[in-house]
Amino acid sequence: MHHPIICFGQQPCGFFPKRFLFAKILTARRLQKEIGGEIVFFFHDSDHDPRETTTILREQHSNREVALNFQFENRIQKQFSPLYAKRVLPEWQEKTARQLPNYVRPALVSHFRETKCSNVADFCLEMYRRMGLLEGVRVERSSAPEFRARAVAVSDYFVDVQYEGEIVRTRYRDGKFLLHKGGNRFLEIPGAEFGPEQISPTRDTRFRWMQSVIRCTHYVAGASEQQYIDKADAPNVQFINRDEISDFNKAYTDEQ
């Protein structure tokens, strides 16, 4: 194997990353020690679900759990804007920073206070970097226009368009731009001509879309990914189960 490319993917998953992301990073680093090569983090910041960034922390004295998340300027942005377009409110950051000493060490509070990013995806990525998690890791972002322009065309996808002053992520079907309102309910909104720089994949087309650019040889996958990735799309990729980790959905709050 000339140059292994070890990839793992994840949406922004909390301003302190969820422990399952930390486990993916550990698995990729362990594999790199065995076979060499490069580690690539496919940062899927085109996702729009605000629940992805819920950060579950444990109070240091009582062990009581709390779920913290970003606040958003308006309903449209919260429900429909991709994570790279959801804006960080300075007042939210200040309020949350005052709470954090109850849950994490002072160094992490400092990282949080010192992170100055305008959007949720940038904020999460900068926090992961400050925690030392991404040292030596190449990051590729699904929101990057140059990444999208290079990716293969897929039949099922989302299109980022302007709507009521916000960038929103619409499902594109039969020439219609649709916002998902839950269940089988969709809101059709006006759209216009668009190019590949506005497109991001659905869950079922994401791996093939990503792989057309990254061309990984090994992919570290979580349990849910193992179930929905069509491995026929990547016959030459070796899929690796991420290492097991306790409290996988809670926030990781140590530093490497």
Task: For residue 198, give both structure tokens.
Answer: 């506005």
Contacts of 167 (CB under 8 A, 6+ apart): 81, 82, 85, 160, 161
pLDDT at residue 231 greater than cutoff 90: no
pLDDT class of 208 with cuts at 50, 70, 90: very high
pLDDT given for residue 71 in this prediction: 97
When pLDDT is averaged across residues 213-228 and rounded to a whole number, the result is 92
Dist CA 192 CA 172 (whole Å): 11
Local structure of 126: helix, strand or coil: helix
The mean of the pLDDT values for the chain is 95
**Region 21-43 average pLDDT:** 98
Helices (H), the chain: 19-35, 75-80, 90-99, 106-114, 120-130, 145-150, 203-214, 223-228
For residue 118, the 8-state DSSP code is: S
214's CB contacts (< 8 A; 6+ apart) are: 5, 7, 40, 42, 140
Structural tokens at position 254: 């140590």
pTM comes to 0.95
Q: Which amino acid is at 213?
A: V
- Cβ 103 vs Cβ 89: under 8 Å: no
Please state, in angstroms and rounded to a whole number, the distance separating the CA atoms of residues 160 and 164.
13
Give the pLDDT score at 256.
Answer: 58
